[in-house]
Structure 1
């Protein structure tokens, strides 16, 4: 397999991420009837500092973990502060902030599924890749638990993985993190005929 410089790998992953998040924001904006603001991709290598950096950024968290398969392997992790996402769902759907967890989580799963599906559909269309999302896992837990689960799953798949982070703002800001296998990324670069 062809070797690529790290900056080339991260630039291409970032470009794919920007395509994906733009489409996801458009879909969410149509669904929710309000503007969705996003950031450009921040790309880096997963290392021993990643867990420390991520867990310091979150308190009580809801996380939804989407396994990715086919020509791009890894996980998508949507992280939300529970109090903030309850407020946003209440304002969008007229649900009381103190509603039963099942009702809130049902709306949240719908929003998250549209977000991830739109993201990956745009990436697949842009790159002609075949991508698949497996059944997501949802967790309501303290930050260390869900982040540790995501990173552990990723590092079991590939100990040289990279990640990219996007922030999305409804009323509050949430993070979408993609953790991708380096091997699958290198295969994508070869498939796209990327040159140094």
Structure 2
């Protein structure tokens, strides 16, 4: 596609519904998983070109944890949940207790906790997207990657750039206690799935 995808009002309304469903799923699951109240603001949805992500986020050289999940079936593509060091440490401290940690040298239990968090986040929106569109999908086991944000974003780029350079970015704001954290889900749909999604949303 040569232009950014334009969203009409009806499509925006459906994406808002999608956000309501996905956020509700995520909040409930995260609170149970972490054993504490987690609140989320309504997410912001944006379709944009892959190359514009770097400019939009401005985080290429910052250390991040990224959880990659592949979706197959009628809803094909790759989902990536991105969280920065501060958010990752807050999650791990809340679940596993306070201690000195290095994001690049986590133990198996810590890596498993972050992977499951990504699974909950991506899975919540995958289920919501499937529910809203009626498209069936199956998901892979999450793959945890800890690196500079630019390097993490390069993984799905290598897989999908030849297929489509359009992505859906879902920006979330989380509240845990008095603190606020940002997390982002980026969805690289394969072209056929993207066309199906937009066709259904615009019906």
The answer, yes or no, to whether TM exceeds 0.5 is: yes
Is the Cα contact below 8 Å between 1:61 and 1:140 reproduced in 2? yes
**1:187 counterpart residue number:** 196
Structural mapping, 1:20-39, within 5 Å:
20-32=22-34, 33-39=36-42
Instruction: Determine helix, strand or coil for the equivalent of 1:135.
Output: coil
Q: Cα RMSD between the aligned structures?
A: 2.8
Distance 1:51 1:131 in 2: 28
Instruction: Determine helix, strand or coil for the equivalent of 1:80.
Output: strand
**2:52 counterpart residue number:** 49
Return the TM-score normalized by structure 2: 0.76
Deviations 1:61-101 (A, max 9, x none): 11111112211222211111124312332123325343861
Instruction: Determine helix, strand or coil for the equivalent of 1:6.
Output: coil
**2:112 counterpart residue number:** 106
> 1:194 deviation in Å?
4.2
Instruction: Determine helix, strand or coil for the equivalent of 1:157.
Output: coil
Instruction: Determine helix, strand or coil for the equivalent of 1:156.
Output: coil
**1:64 counterpart residue number:** 67
> 1:105 deviation in Å?
0.8
Distance 2:140 2:129 in 1: 17
User: Is there any run of 5+ residues in structure 1 with no aligned partner, and where?
Assistant: none
> 1:177 deviation in Å?
2.1
Structural mapping, 1:1-150, within 5 Å:
6-8=6-8, 11=12, 12-13=14-15, 15-32=17-34, 33-56=36-59, 59-94=62-97, 96-98=99-101, 101-102=106-107, 103-150=109-156
Instruction: Determine helix, strand or coil for the equivalent of 1:64.
Output: strand
Is the Cα contact below 8 Å between 1:70 and 1:130 reproduced in 2? yes
User: Is there any run of 5+ residues in structure 2 with no aligned partner, and where?
Assistant: none
> 1:133 deviation in Å?
1.1
Return the TM-score normalized by structure 1: 0.78
Q: 2:170 aligns with which of 162, 165, 171?
A: 165
Distance 1:15 1:46, change over 3 A: farther
Distance 1:29 1:168 in 2: 15
Distance 1:127 1:85 in 2: 32
